[in-house]
Amino acid sequence: LGLEAFERAMRADVARTGATHWVEKTPDHVFHVERMMARYPDARFVHVLRDGRDVVTSLLAFPSIVPHARTRSARLLAGCALWEWMALAGMRAHRNAVRGGRFGTIRYEDVVRAPRSSLRSLLDWAGVPAGADHLATVHRELESGRGNSSYEPDAAGVYGTAIGRWRDPGFMSDEERAVVEWLV
């Protein structure tokens, strides 16, 4: 999707919903933060950092995420490399942008374990006014069971079972786990 089409879609969604703010969560955008900051001077950017071992576990479970890695071993190595590449890009963007207060980092695990306080902190940082009713509505949405991932469309919102999944031998063997722990 081109930038103009993306912006038209966002404007239409804001007009349709009456929203005052919107969130776009494509993980690959971590590589384009500086350009986006220049184009959207009032935007805030949040880097969601997740335990790399769980990221690799998800990549192993959903081969379509790294389609060129045709074998499980290739997906495992690609997952480790992808996590590190994205985590480093996020840290670099954070270092370059933090001075203006426009870039923040949150841990996925913190959001899952304490969604209400994480959401409150995030909205406060972003300068988004939200009363208790609005926070309760958003929290219900997060727990509603509706998936919000293009990678895991059947996933149930924000859920704790995705934390520590790398320890489960049903998801990753001991040998794979050792490789992942060494690489991430």
- What are the pLDDT digits (tens) for 86-115? 999 988 888 876 667 888 888 999 988 888
Rounded distance between C-alpha atoms, residue 183 and residue 89, angstroms: 17
Alpha helices in 108-153 (DSSP H): 108-113, 115-126, 132-143
| pLDDT value of residue 122 | 86
Helix (H, G, I), strand (E, B) or coil at 105: strand
Reply yes or no on whether the pLDDT at 140 is more than 80.
no
Give the lowest-confidence range in 97-101, 119-123, 150-154, 176-180: 150-154
pTM of the predicted model over 0.75: yes
- Quickly state the pLDDT bin for 118 (edges 50, 70, 90): confident
127 neighbors 141 (Cβ within 8 angstroms): no
Q: What is the mean pLDDT of residues 15-40?
A: 84
Name the more confident of 75 and 151.
75
- Region 69-80 average pLDDT: 93
- Check whether 133 has a pLDDT greater than 80: no
Mean pLDDT in residue range 47-54: 92
pLDDT attached to residue 24:
77
Instruction: Give the pLDDT score at 3.
Output: 79
Residue among 50, 70, 81, 85 at smallest CA distance from 166: 50
